Amino acid sequence: MNLAVTDVRLTPILVADPPLLNTQGVHQPYTPRLIVEVVTADGITGVGETYGDAKYLELARPFAERLKGRQVSDLNGLFTVADQVAVDASRVENAVDVGGLRGVQTADKLRLSVVSGFEVACLDALGKALGLPVHTLLGGKVRDAVEYSAYLFYKWAGHPAGVPAEKDDWGAAVDPAGVVEQARRFKERYGFTSFKLKGGVFPPDEEIAAVRALAEAFPGHPLRLDPNGAWSVETSVKVARELGEVLEYLEDPALGTPAMAEVAERTGVPLATNMCVTTFAEIKEAFTRGAVQVVLSDHHYWGGLRNTQQLAAVCRTFGVGVSMHSNTHLGISLAAMTHVAATVPDLHHACDSHYPWQSEDVLTERLTFEGGKVAVSDAPGLGVELDRERLAVLHRRWLDDDGALRDRDDAAAMRIADPEWVTPAMPRW
C-alpha cells in the first residue's frame, strides 16, 4: 500500500444560498466553498471541504504543493505544513470574517481552517485505503446516528429583485408566525425535534415573541436562540429571564468572555458559544470564569476532526458541554461532522447544520436527515462520492463571477436591498 500524496486538487466553487438574515446583513445568493481532493500513489482520492474565500485559497494553494510526497496517514504533519504557509497580514488585520461571526480572526485560525479541509481529505483517503470508515480511524463510533437541530433563520422570500439567484420554496420568515411555519416545514421534511433560531436581526422583544411562539407550537422541544453577540449584558439578562423556562441554552447573547461571564453569573440559563471560545487559547479564561456551559465546536476552524475530539476532552474535564456549530456547508462537511460527532461520548445537545438550506451539493447522493438524525456511515472513508459534473458546474460559476461573490460579505449583500446599510456596532441592543 502506497499512501504517499501524488496529487492535490483544489476546486473553489460558488453554492446557492437563500436570503438568510443575521447581525451582519443577509447571505449572498451564492457563497464560496473550497473542495479539496488528495490523491495517493495507489490512485485513491480523498475529499475534504472548507471555506472558499480568497484568504483561504491563498493558504490552501501553497499548502497543497507542500503536501505532495507526504503520507495521508501523517495527520500530525499537517500542522507542520500549516506552519510553513503564510497569509498576507492585511488579510487578517482588516478581515471582518463576516463580522466575526466565528469569533476573533487570527492568522492561526485561518491556517487551522485550511488544515481541516486537508485533514478530512487525508482521513477519507486513508479510510478508503484501509477499508475503514473515518469514525473508526478516530477511535470508533459510540452512536449509530447523530442528531441535528433545525437551524431556523429570519429570511426573505427571495433575494432582491434583479439579483441573479436560485429560487427556494421556504417562503419568508420575518415574524413569529413565519418562524413557526419554517420550523413546521423543517420538522415535516427532516424530522428535527430541536430548534435553533438565528437572532440578532430584530429588536429582542420580537425575537422573544418568536421563541415563545415556537415553545407554544412545539411543546417540550429543545429551543435555542443565537443573536451572535448583538445584545448588551443588560439585554441578555432580560432575555434570559424572560425565556429561561423554555430555552435549552442561549447562544452568544453578548460578545466576549467578560460579558458572557457576567450574563452567566446573573442568570440560570446555560450559555453556549461559537464566538468567545473558538481556539484552545481562549478556553482557560472562559472556563475559569464560568462564562460558558456549552462549547460549540466547528471542525473547520478548530483545525479538524482530531482537534475537535481534543476540545471535547477538555470540555469533559471541566464539566462543560460540547456540541457543534455550523456555517454554510455542503455534504462532505456534513459527513465529516457526523463522523466526528459519532465518536464524542458525551454529546448531549443536537448539532447545528446549515445543510438543509443548501439546494445544491457536489455529491452523487445527498446525505439525508431521518427523525432529525444523520446515520453514521460504515463505508470506507467518509462514505460520500464526488459528483464531478456538479463540481464542474459550481466551479464554472466561481470562474464566471467577477469577484463580487468570491468573498462572503453579508453586509454588501444587504446593501443591495438597503443602500444605507452598515453593519451595526455591537452590542446593538
Residue 20's binding partner out of ligand GKR, Mg ion, none, with CB under 5 to 8 Å set by partner kind: ligand GKR
Residue 235's binding partner out of Mg ion, ligand GKR, none, with CB under 5 to 8 Å set by partner kind: none
> Dihedral of CA 299/303/304/306: which sign?
negative
Q: What is the DSSP string of 24-55?
A: S-B--SEEEEEEEEEEETTS-EEEEEEE-SHH
C-alpha to C-alpha distances, 308 to 16, 313, 342, 365, nearest whole angstrom: 28, 9, 12, 26
Counting contacts by CB under 5 A, is residue 17 touching Mg ion? no
**Kind of pairing, strands 150-153 and 195-198?**
parallel
Q: Give the number of other Cβ atoms within 10 Å of residue 156's Cβ.
A: 17
**Choices 79-87, 282-290, 325-333, 398-406 (CB under 6 A): range interacting with ligand GKR:** 325-333
Q: x/- contact string, 216-255, with ligand GKR (CB under 6 A)?
A: ----------x-x---------------------------
Q: x/- contact string, 262-281, with Mg ion (CB under 5 A)?
A: ------------x-------
Residue found by looking up cell 458559544 in the block? 273
Bridge partners for 133 per DSSP? 381
Among residues 3, 16, 22, 141, the one that binds ligand GKR under rule CB under 6 A: 22
Largest CA distance in the chain: 61
Q: How many residues bind ligand GKR (CB under 6 A)?
A: 13
Report the candidate in 286, 283, 237 with the shortest Cα–Cα distance to residue 263. Answer: 237
CA pair distance 120, 305, nearest whole angstrom? 7
Among residues 300, 306, 325, 406, the one that binds ligand GKR under rule CB under 6 A: 325
Q: What is the DSSP string of 43-91?
A: S-EEEEEEE-SHHHHHHHHHHHHHHTTSBTT--THHHHHHHT----HHH
In the complex, least distance from residue 21 CB atom to ligand GKR, rounded to whole angstroms = 8
**Choices 202-210, 231-239, 310-318, 319-327 (CB under 6 A): range interacting with ligand GKR:** 319-327
**Choices 58-66, 70-78, 323-331, 373-381 (CB under 6 A): range interacting with ligand GKR:** 323-331
CA pair distance 308, 306, nearest whole angstrom? 5
Residue 342: DSSP 8-state: H
362 dihedral zone (left: phi>0; alpha: psi -120 to 50; beta): alpha
Counting contacts by CB under 5 A, is residue 226 touching Mg ion? yes
* 228 annotated among ligand-binding-site residues: yes
The residues annotated with a catalytic role in the active site are 198, 325
First-last CA distance in the chain: 59
Query: Can you read off the three cell numbers belonging to residue 424?
Result: 451595526
In the complex, least distance from residue 98 CB atom to ligand GKR, rounded to whole angstroms = 6
Query: Can you read off the three cell numbers belonging to residue 14?
Result: 460558488
Counting contacts by CB under 5 A, is residue 353 touching Mg ion? no
The interface with ligand GKR within residues 100-139 (CB under 6 A) comprises: 101-102
In the complex, least distance from residue 253 CB atom to Mg ion, rounded to whole angstroms = 10
In the complex, least distance from residue 76 CB atom to ligand GKR, rounded to whole angstroms = 28
CA pair distance 271, 264, nearest whole angstrom? 7
If the CB atoms of residues 98 and 122 are measured against ligand GKR, the closer one turns out to be: 98
The interface with ligand GKR within residues 164-223 (CB under 6 A) comprises: 198
The interface with ligand GKR within residues 260-289 (CB under 6 A) comprises: 274
Question: Which residues make up the interface to ligand GKR (CB under 6 A)?
Answer: 20, 22, 98, 101-102, 198, 226, 228, 274, 325-328
Q: What is the contact surface with Mg ion in residues (CB under 5 A)? A: 226, 251, 274
